[in-house]
A and B are shown apart, each in its own frame.
Chain A
Amino acid sequence: MRDERFLVGLVLFHALAAVPGLALLYALGLLKLRPLALLAAAGPSVLLGIVLVGIPLITLMVVGVSVGLAAALAVTAVVTLVLVLVAAGTRERRPVPLVATGPPGTLVEFVAERVVLGGTALYLLVAAPTFRNLETLWDDANIWSLKALGLYHQGTLVDGLSNNPALSGVHLDYPLLQPMTEATFFHVLGSIDLRFWHFELWVLMALAIWTMAWLLAPLGPRWPWTVVLATLALSGIVIANIQLGDADVLMAALVGCATLSFGIWLHRGGLPYALLGGVLLAGAANVKNEGLVLGTAVGVALVAAAAIGRRPGRWRDLAFAAGLVLISVLPWQIWVGGHEAATRNTPSPWQVIDDPSYLTDRLDNLWRGLGQVLVQLMNTGEWSLLVPAFLVCAVTMVVVGRERTVAAFYLVAGFLAYLSVAYVYWVTPIQDIGGFEQRSGARIVLGVVFVGGVGLAHLLQIAASAWTVPEPEVAPAQRPAATPVPSAVEAGGIRSAP
């Protein structure tokens, strides 16, 4: 009985989440209403739907509205309706379909990409049952699921759980997208069963990998990036984080998807990819504060890359994306600012900048952090050669002059993400840095790994597309890539068939 209820609830939850996600992709012109295209976009749609419904629900709760299943259904309906109206209003201005670049695929490439992608999908499926029956461990019981059960039962931010000085130690400032999703998940299931939640976290991670593949698939050669996505999916650190019920994987995966979307925007142009990146980044920033920090790192890299480029309309695209993120992040951040119990454990740069001695006294922590983050990034047992491979690929592209701006964007984004994690070591008030490393060292680099990972995947795709069709040297402004050519799924699914 438990399994049947779980299965029905699972299907219903994802079907409901997919609706606004599909509407968004259609409104952006990234989805054609054809069966195969809809199927290919199902994964990204669910991920986007969770963000599109979760953030308005958080906003409603912050202004005092009680949210439950009815509110979730109403928000799903309203968001979908608005996006469908936008799609109808912009029907005449559909973006030109994205064109795959590069040589036609060979039989070997075709087989290789199918084997790796199919193998990864099979692995994710076979591993899933492990996450269906797990206990709720410490962080989850004290932070994430505690908030989720509070939202499930009380529907609002009751003082006992959100503005209680006795609970300041369990991070009342942490954003609510994951607990909100968990509460909605249980509402759709019909009751609480904590053992199932890890299964959903695993599904969300798989959906993020699917989203990355969906974004990359129409661009051209696929075989090079399939191994990168497989490496991300197969990490034991990802598994451990989901078993713990923590939010790092969801945050990092959303940051990765957003970074990739922005990378494609930088490479091919088109407002839809900038907006998609904005929505995904808004999701990451509403999962964990680190999502906001990593989003800022990506944003700074993006502005720097856009300043080098000459594509018309780039600042408008970025302004729209930044506006989206800002609007989505503000409600919760304003709420946190107004509640003393929701104190931040890690001081922001503007909180410590006027106290140089605070920083100089902790310089040892900074050096230690810079080293420790590298130790984690160089954990080849978990991440294989992902980080050094990313560096080699990006530097090679910068040196040979192939899509220098895109390569530089990923390099700068990755470097800033690395620095932002080292900053946490630098300013943390935690005295036991060794214990902090032991508890958190592996998971706090997840965002950096995903930024580097999607960077590597995209750059390998670009590199492979130049293999047999050398392009004439042209000025950046005249490149075909400068033409806005979105519509990812138009070419999806069939490019490299021999």
Chain B
Amino acid sequence: MSSPALTLLLTVCGLGIGVLFVAGVLQRHWPGRYRWLAAASLVIVVGLAVGLPGKVKGDLDGLNAQRKANALVSEQQAHERCLQDLGRPDLVAALAFARERLPDDARYYARTRSIPCVAFNLFPSELVPAGEFDPRRDWLVLDGLDPEGLPPSLASAARATDRRATFSPTFAVVAPEGVSPEGGAG
């Protein structure tokens, strides 16, 4: 028998022994089956109640410490936490650069290792799947400038240096055809 099953069995037996003991004590006062119900209720309620005060204190101490630790968290930090967890703190400034250029109603495709986290930081602009990318309408967010590995329409947009605003040697945004990449957000 596995160890957790044994633990469960032993705990059930322990409670059962408690019920037997209390039922024995109550024998004179209660008729047959109600004695067992009373004993089971008493043992269980006392068993659960005993741990509550300590748990309240432990929980509140822990929560209080966390409240103090998080007191200065800003909304921007809340958004950017996933970039830190991703191991890409460099994307914080890069995505701020992209947000400044993408208009609010922009659609974009992002080539990056973690699309969800990048998309999370580029709202209200709308992410499009690779298959729906339209170079005449959509922006391209490049985390890694090498166009290799991109589908043809995306690769061709990635090569369009005249529509590209470069943030760093590895990060740039490419505007739709006929749009200036420095156009500014709405």
Contact = CB atoms under 8 A, between A and B. Distances in A.
Contact of A402 (B33, B59, B63): B33
A380 B81 CA distance: 32
A464 B41 contact: yes
Interface in B62-104: 62-64, 66-67, 70-71, 73, 75, 77-79, 81-82, 85
A60 interface: no
A43 B160 CA distance: 57
A193 to B, nearest CB: 6
A333 interface: no
B110 to A, nearest CB: 9
A224 interface: yes
B123 interface: yes
Given A123-B60, A467-B38, A231 B120 contact: no
Contact of A224 (B31, B41, B52, B56): B41
B19 interface: yes
A378 B12 CA distance: 11
Contacts, number: 204
Contacts of A371: 2-5
B34 A135 contact: no
B129 A164 contact: yes
A56 to B, nearest CB: 25
B25 interface: no
Interface string A451-483: 000001000100110110010000000000000
Interface in B1-41: 2-5, 7-8, 11-12, 15-16, 19, 31, 33-34, 36-38, 40-41
A466 B34 contact: yes
Interface stretch (B42-50, B161-169, B174-182): B42-50
Nearest to B31: A470
Chain A interface mostly helix, strand, loop or mixed? helix
B4 to A, nearest CB: 4
30 contacts: A130-B66, A130-B67, A136-B78, A145-B120, A146-B119, A149-B123, A150-B123, A152-B123, A153-B123, A154-B126, A160-B127, A160-B132, A166-B130, A192-B75, A195-B75, A227-B49, A230-B48, A234-B55, A236-B59, A372-B4, A374-B8, A378-B4, A380-B51, A385-B47, A386-B48, A388-B12, A392-B43, A392-B44, A396-B37, A470-B31
Query: Which 8 residue pairs of A and B lie closest in terms of their CB atoms, listed nearest first?
Result: A160-B127, A374-B4, A141-B82, A400-B33, A135-B81, A388-B11, A463-B37, A164-B129
Interface of B: 2-5, 7-8, 11-12, 15-16, 19, 31, 33-34, 36-38, 40-41, 43-45, 47-49, 51-52, 55-56, 59-60, 62-64, 66-67, 70-71, 73, 75, 77-79, 81-82, 85, 107, 114-117, 119-120, 123-124, 126-130, 132
